[in-house]
Amino acid sequence: MTLDKLLSFDWGMMAPEFSIVITAILLSLIDLFMPNKVSRKPLALLGLAGIIVAIVFAVLQVGDPVGSILFDTYRFDSFALAFKLLFLVATAMIFLLALDFEGESKWAYRGEFYYLLMTALLGAMMMASSADLITLFVGLELLSISSYILAGIRKRNFHSNEAAFKYVVNGGIATAITLFGMSYIYGLTGQTNLYAISEMLVDPRVQENSFLVIMAFVMMFVGLSFKISAAPFHMWAPDVYQGSPTPVTTFLSVVSKMAGFTLILRLFFVIFLGTQGWHNQILLDAQPFIAFVAGATMVIGNVVALRQRNIKRMFAYSSIAHAGYVLVPFVSLSLIVFKTTWFYLLAYLLMNIGAFAVIQFVTSREKSEDFTAFSGLNKRAPLTAFMMAIFIISLAGLPFTAGFIGKFGIFMSSLGTGHYILASVMIATTVVSYVYYFNVMVQIYFRKGAGNRIRPTAGLAVVMVICTIGTLLFGIYPSLALDFFQSGFDINDLFTPSE
């Protein structure tokens, strides 16, 4: 590749990614030359500023036509942008959580923490934009490797070490499975570009081997189910979530998971729908398989959550269950899937980050991660207790919250396409989930707790308030978000190969 060619790409489209890269580099350089004893707080603020700049660039791109760079390996379409916005907003809030997490003295390597969060975010954004198996894999690994280190960043903490170890081992296996699946695809089609693969799939020579294609499909799906912590690759999540520092747990359960969904949507929809439309035989064959995975994930997540006493573990299972819900629209196979998934992820982002903010607040003040740490929270911090109640109601999917609207949309999408069994599993497991969600609620409102009034720090308070407002606003007036998605993002351009 000549320099001229390299310069001829429209790099301006990458402005949000560049903001993140530049901020990450700046952060690592500053951290390198900063004296050890100096507070790393300004680094977090710098990181936050970088993300906000990226959000501004991303918002300015809304409505732009489809573009691509680097020989169609990296695409800028509405699909990528819509999900990137979610990643950026979520990571910005996680920075605020990180600011508050534990005292400076207790926790060295804080500088690393900030720029690793940046690179993980960059990985997620690459996953949203990739149109080629190779860039896609690079993005996935950038996110994964950054996350491994983040999980173990409290080097001297036993749980943190355990979390990082389990995460690496399981992540490695997942990567191997995914790559193995991809290798089949490459072997069959000789292409790495998703659109080219899609065209090759109708080739008779490939069609004869459709069994291999569907095996590749299953393997890639199982490998990627690691990222979204869906069955059968969910077992790492409780241990890792419990051991990681709470802001990292939040990142894993929100951003990393959203990135996984984005990747799954793009990979499978472009490859299998691109040239063949909705009646693709392979996708139709795979439908019961995905339905089974979704159902199993909902059941495992919600049922096992019942017995958890550690609040972070409980929320790990809850997050497994939510992955199951989000897989439901994927079964229904229609264009609605993007809208319902996006909205659900938005709602999930708000309620889950909000809940983790409260969890971080309570567990750090009480020095306990047992769910009884929440007892009597209503007396000690009434406003925080109220906000936690809203997040719980939303996670449980009760009306007037974003979680309800999201779940309702998913439910309707499965009913509308005749997946009655899946819809009933969803309802049944939702009812089960009330038990553990409302256990926390009972602790907050009906159990007596000891201790004085406690007050969240400014950063936490901002996150909680934003999440509460968002949860209620999109619950009462969901059109605000849905219309934004509908008018700003033409999802059809996911399928238009760029020139």
Partner 1 sequence: MNPLIWIIPVLPLLSFVLLLLFGRRLKEASAHVGALLTLGSLVLSIVVLLNQWGGEPVKETLSWLTFGETTLSAGYLVNPLNALMLVIVSLVSFLVQVYSGGYMHDDDRFPIFFAYLGLFTFAMLGLVLSPNLLQLYVFWELVGVGSFLLIGYYFYKREARSAAKKAFIMTRIGDVGLFIGMILLFWQVGSFEFDEIFAAVEAGEISEGWITLTAILIFVGAIGKSGQFPLHTWLPDAMEGPTPVSALIHAATMVAAGVYLVAAMFPLFQASEAALTTVAVVGGFTAIFAATIGLAQADIKRVLAYSTVSQLGYMMLALGSSGYVAGVFHLTTHAFFKALLFLAAGSVIHAVHTQNIHEMGGLWKKMKWTAPLFLIGAMAISGVPGLSGFFSKDEILAATYADGRFGLFWIAVIAAFLTAFYMFRLFFLVFTGESRGIQEKVKESPVSMTFPMIVLGILALIGGLINTPFATYLSDFLAQNEALEIHHHETRWWIPVVATGVSLLGILMAWLVYVKKKVTRFSESAPDLHYILLNKYFIDETYDYSFVKGTRALSYFWYYIDRFVVEGLVGLVTGIVGWFSKIGSRFQNGQVQLYSSVAFAGMAILLLVVAWIGGYLT
Residue 403 interacting with partner 1 (CB under 8 A): no
Kindly state the DSSP code that residue 67 receives in the 8-state scheme.
E
Nearer to partner 1, 46 or 179 (CB): 179
Round to whole Å and give the CA distance between 394 and 347: 8
Q: Compute the least distance from the CB of residue 473 to partner 1, in Å.
A: 13
Residue 405 interacting with partner 1 (CB under 8 A): yes
Residue 166 interacting with partner 1 (CB under 8 A): yes
Nearer to partner 1, 83 or 233 (CB): 233
Task: Choose which of 37, 211, 279, 453 interacts with partner 1 (CB under 8 A).
Answer: 211
Contact 315, 356 (CB under 8 A): yes
Cis geometry, peptide bond prior to residue 232 (ω within 30 degrees of 0): yes
Q: Compute the least distance from the CB of residue 291 to partner 1, in Å.
A: 11
Task: Choose which of 139, 247, 354, 409 interacts with partner 1 (CB under 8 A).
Answer: 409
Nearer to partner 1, 40 or 312 (CB): 312
Task: Choose which of 304, 422, 460, 481 interacts with partner 1 (CB under 8 A).
Answer: 304
Nearer to partner 1, 197 or 224 (CB): 224
Per-residue tokens: 429: 């497991």
Task: Mark 214-253 with x for binding to partner 1 (rule: CB under 8 A) and - for no binding.
Answer: xx--xx--x---x----xxx-xx-xx--------------
Round to whole Å and give the CA distance between 350 and 354: 6
60 C-beta neighbours (distance < 10 Å), count = 11
Residue 259 interacting with partner 1 (CB under 8 A): no
Q: Strand, helix or coil at 486?
A: helix
Round to whole Å and give the CA distance between 182 and 324: 24
In the numeric block, the tokens 């008779």 are attached to: 204
Per-residue tokens: 114: 């900030």
Q: Compute the least distance from the CB of residue 293 to partner 1, in Å.
A: 7
Residue 164 interacting with partner 1 (CB under 8 A): no
Report which of 466, 334, 313 is spatially closest to residue 402, judged by C-alpha positions. 466
> For residue 226, what is the enclosing H or E element?
none
Nearer to partner 1, 29 or 169 (CB): 169
> For residue 106, what is the enclosing H or E element?
none
Q: What is the DSSP string of 132-169?
A: BHHHHHHHHHHHHHHHHHHHT-STT-HHHHHHHHHHHH
Q: Which residues bind partner 1 (CB under 8 A)?
A: 165-166, 169-170, 173-174, 177, 210-211, 214-215, 218-219, 222, 226, 231-233, 235-236, 238-239, 285-286, 288-289, 292-293, 300, 303-308, 336, 405, 408-409, 412, 416, 432, 477-479, 482-483
